[in-house]
Amino acid sequence: MKARIRITLKNGVLDPQGKAIQNALSSLGFKGVEEVRQGKYIEVDLVSTDEAAARTEVERMCRELLANLVIEDYAFELTAK
């Protein structure tokens, strides 16, 4: 299976990089931008073909390494490769 993982900053956590991107968009003339939040996207190819097992595994990967739960949330979807 393939996991597509999105890691985003929790609500309320300041995102200076998002702010810088917003400022850059604004200086490029994009006037309709209310807010920018940036994060990470990670793809993990798994040997497993069992969705339940893969879900448990990816949950652990996110909690133990991929996301820092002090400031980040994660979400992922699993698809057949």
Does residue 66 bind other proteins (CB under 8 A)?
yes
Chosen residue from 63, 71, 75, 77 binding other proteins by CB under 8 A: 71
- Residue 52 found at the interface with other proteins (CB under 8 A): no
Q: Which of residues 16-35 bind other proteins (CB under 8 A)?
A: 16-17, 20
Name the nearest CA neighbour of 39 among 2, 81, 5, 77. 5
Whole-angstrom distance, CA of residue 13 vs CA of residue 35: 13
Tokens of 29: 């003339």
CB-nearer residue toward other proteins: 16 or 29: 16
1 token code pair: 């299976």
Tell me whether residue 5 or residue 54 sits nearer to other proteins (CB atom).
5
Instruction: Report yes or no: 74 and 4 within 8 Å, Cβ to Cβ.
Output: no
Q: Which residues bind other proteins (CB under 8 A)?
A: 13-14, 16-17, 20, 65-66, 68, 70-71
